[in-house]
Every structure is written in C-alpha cells, then in structure tokens.
Amino acid sequence: MAKKIKTLEEVKEEFLKQSEKDQRLLNEYVEKAIDHLNLSDDESEELFNWFSDNNIILVDEEDDIEEEVLLDDEDALEDDALLDDDAVDGDVPFDDSMNKVDLSSYENELTSANLVRINDPVKMYLKEIGRVNLLDPKDEPEIARRLQEGEQAKELIINLYREHLAADVDDEEFEIIMQELKIEDIFDILQDHFQDDESNLAYVDNCIDTYFDGQEARRILISANLRLVVSIAKKYVGRGMLFLDLIQEGNMGLVKAVEKFDYTKGFKFSTYATWWIRQAITRAIADQARTIRIPVHMVETINKLTRVQRSLVQTLGREPTAEEIAAEMEGITPEKVREIQKIALDPVSLETPIGEEDDSHLGDFIEDKDAMSPDEYANNQLLKEEINMVLEGLTEREEKVLRLRFGLEDGRTRTLEEVGKEFNVTRERIRQIEAKALRKLKHPTRSKRLRDFVDKR
C-alpha cells in the first residue's frame, strides 16, 4: 500500500504534537518532514512565521539552545513612532539623525594576513570572511531599519520619476524604461530636472543618501553573517556537493533572508537567516547533488531502506541480505531492494585525487576489463613482429595484398574487388596472388615461426 503524502497543514499538526513538551523541534526533523512539499519562497516564509507565532524554536541536536532575544514592546513602539515621524517630515522623508550605528565599524579589518599567499580556496575564503566584525545584537534592528528605509527611498525616487518625467507613459512601457535605466541614472536625471527647485532637490538628495546608506547596511548585514553560512554548510558535507558549493548556495539563502527580513517582528536576524540558509542548501542538494535527480518518493524509499538496513545490522551483527531487507520492509521484493540500492549509490569522479600529494586519481586504480593484460599485450607484440618478418619473404605485391585482405595495415579487411581497384587489376587476379602468397607462408620454414603462437591461443 502506498504511503499517504501529507499536506502542509497535516505536517503543521505533526509539528505541534512533537513540540508540545519543550516548544522545540530539530532542524533535521523539520527538513525531512517538509522535503516532499517543495515549498515556494512565500510558503517557506509563511511556515517560518507560523513557527514564530506558535513559539516553536528550531534547533540542532548538538547545539546549545539559544533563547530568542525579542525587542521590548517599548522599543518596538519607539521604532514605529520614529517611522511615523519620518513619513511626515517636511522637505525630506528620512531623518538621518536617527542613525546611531557607525557602519564603518563593521568594515573589513585590513591586516598583514592579506599579504599571505593561500593556495586552498576554502582557507582563503574563511580568512577573508573572518576579517569582518560580527554584528552587535543591539545594532541589528537599526541596520535592518536603514536597509528597509533604503528600499523605501528607492520606491519614492521611482514614483517621483514617474510623476514628473513619465506621467504620459503606460505601465507596460514604464516597466521597459525601468529595465533599461539603472537607479543611479534616475538619480542623475532627477537632480538635473530639479536643479532650480530647492525643495524637490533636497527631497531627491535625501532619498539618494538614504538609498546608498541602505545599500551599505545591506552589505554589512550580509558580510557579518557569512560565517553563519559556513557553520551551517559544514553540517551538510558528504551529501553529494562540494563544501564551496554548499557555501555558495547558503550565501544565496542569506541574501534572500536579508531581502525578506522584517525587524519589526522582533526575532533575531540570525534565527531568521538560519531558516533561509538551510532551505537554500537542502534544495540545492536535492536538485544538484546527483547527476540524475531522484524523485522525492524514491528518496523516501531509499531513506526507509537505509533505516531498515541499519536496524538489521545491529540485530544480526552483519550486513543483511536483500532477502532479509525485503522481508522487513514488506511489500517489496529482493530484486527491488537491489535496484534501490543501486539507485542510492553516489557517483564519484574518476578524477578524484588520491593520496596526500594528490598526484594520483581514483581512475588510476580501477581495472579496465577491456584492456589487455601485460602478458597478452607482450604476446601480441611478439606475434606482430614475427608476422612482419615472415611477410618480408614475399614479393612486395604479395605482401601488400595480404596486408590489405587481412587488415594488417589499419584493422579493416578489404574485399577482392577493393584490393583489385588498389592495384588496377581484376578480383580474380588478386585471388590468384593471395593464394600463391598463402602457399608460400605454409612452407615449413615460414609456418613454424608462427605455429607456437597458434598453440598458445
């Protein structure tokens, strides 16, 4: 009987039951439970918010549980009030006097380590990201706010451009214009347009400053959390992707977290980012870890077979046979078990380095069953030399006819007609030359040199 695929709502009910005791769930358990759902970004966002609303904390088994540090209600209200003040602030929409954090304090620390030559790309990357200061938790809300304001400033600038310079353009045409223009181009156009209008020019300049401040805040928020990506990526090593590829996928998840993070909800950025980093890495493993992608239902079957196999190893004290696994799993034949085991095998590159010096590759140690053995190769070489010596006792024409007829030149045998065209004679004449040459080779003085090779075969 086929296993029923659970819906997202059914999975949520299961999460609530599992977290009743201590309001915690293992990340690994959550990943397995939602793997078959192929959640979109919006659904992933909704699920994360659902965990937050139900006070469920996602943890790793080996991690120390870190309690959520939420903003005080008063702080949140103050932030909301400040945002409201910004929205109605006379000539300029954003008040930079609110910015208390010096973003330059999070710049890369330039040290003499920059001058050290590192050949290992992983070590080089880790050293590079290690020079960025970690975020102070109390600075996170402000940096996130400045990032958000930068995006708001961009929207205000685009709306201002639409209102004053593209009012007669329809939505579709305006979209095309926005694709062709960079935001910096729009800044320049608006500054030129309002150069005689001090009020609007001050408005534009304020939006430009806020936008670039937001871009810097975005860069800081990403750079300061790159080490978080590495710590998460380490847990997925050995799943079919290179460590650097895992980091790259995790970094893309981090960027998505930065774009979607709402600091007003109160949870720490690292908690929010961890969710998106894991989502990005697990999706990449599912899509890219294998040359041929395995369907989700087959992945579930492989996981079940692996669990049964491990259980039988503990019970029997040895590796179980396909028949024993089939009996334990029920409804599956030994042949199907062997097929699943073949599917579960991970491909390995023949170019995989072997040894400390990396001077050998895996392919060097794998037998080529079609290749000749050293003895067979040596025997063939000796036979070739003997045949050449025997043929030298024939006339030039006889030797060439035999070489063409039996493919001794290039491995391709020729018909009597093909050889006849080569010599510009009839096929009958070639047959006569061939017969005469073979009679000569059958003479005991010549044939005895080749008879030993016939006996060996």
* Same domain as 400, residue 269: no
* Same domain as 218, residue 192: yes
pTM of the model: 0.56
Evaluate whether residue 40 is within a structural domain: no
Q: 92, 229, 221, 232: which is closest to 153 by C-alpha?
A: 92
pLDDT in tens, 35-64: 767 777 788 888 888 888 888 887 765 444
Check residue 442 and give its pLDDT: 85
Q: Is residue 100 predicted with pLDDT exceeding 80?
A: no
pLDDT band, residue 108 (cuts 50/70/90) = low
* CB proximity list for 296: less than 8 A, separation 6 or greater: 35, 36, 38, 286
Check residue 211 and give its pLDDT: 92
Q: Is residue 321 predicted with pLDDT exceeding 80?
A: yes
Alpha-carbon distance of 367 to 267, in angstroms, equals 57
Domain boundaries, position 164: 73-288
* Same domain as 316, residue 358: yes
Last residue of some domain: 366, 392, 427?
366
pLDDT band, residue 456 (cuts 50/70/90) = low
Highest mean pLDDT among 64-78, 163-177, 245-259, 299-313: 245-259
Highest mean pLDDT among 193-197, 249-253, 420-424: 249-253
Alpha-carbon distance of 230 to 248, in angstroms, equals 9
Check residue 296 and give its pLDDT: 67
Last residue of some domain: 262, 288, 314?
288
Check residue 65 and give its pLDDT: 36
Evaluate whether residue 169 is within a structural domain: yes
% of the chain beyond a pLDDT of 90 = 22
Task: Give the total number of structural domains in the chain.
Answer: 3
* Same domain as 305, residue 269: no
% of the chain beyond a pLDDT of 70 = 84
Q: Which two tokens stand for residue 182?
A: 């960079």
* Same domain as 105, residue 137: yes
**Rg from Cα positions in the chain:** 37
* Same domain as 298, residue 282: no
Q: Is residue 2 predicted with pLDDT exceeding 70?
A: no
* Same domain as 256, residue 128: yes
Evaluate whether residue 80 is within a structural domain: yes
Evaluate whether residue 303 is within a structural domain: yes
Q: Is residue 153 predicted with pLDDT exceeding 60?
A: yes
Find the CATH number of the domain harbouring 250: 1.20.120.1810
Check residue 333 and give its pLDDT: 92
Tell which wins on pLDDT, 359 or 162.
162
* Same domain as 302, residue 160: no
pLDDT in tens, 66-89: 333 333 333 433 344 333 434 333
Evaluate whether residue 134 is within a structural domain: yes
* Same domain as 427, residue 412: yes
Evaluate whether residue 404 is within a structural domain: yes
pLDDT band, residue 401 (cuts 50/70/90) = very high
Identify the burial level of 450 via C-beta atoms within 10 angstroms of its C-beta, where 0-12 means exposed, 13-18 middle and 19 or more buried: middle
Evaluate whether residue 1 is within a structural domain: no
* Same domain as 352, residue 238: no
Q: Which two tokens stand for residue 406?
A: 């039996």
Identify the burial level of 370 via C-beta atoms within 10 angstroms of its C-beta, where 0-12 means exposed, 13-18 middle and 19 or more buried: exposed
Find the CATH number of the domain harbouring 430: 1.10.10.10
Cβ proximity of 228 and 264 under 8 Å:
no
* Same domain as 318, residue 192: no
Alpha-carbon distance of 184 to 337, in angstroms, equals 60
Evaluate whether residue 102 is within a structural domain: yes
* Same domain as 400, residue 303: no
Last residue of some domain: 326, 344, 366?
366
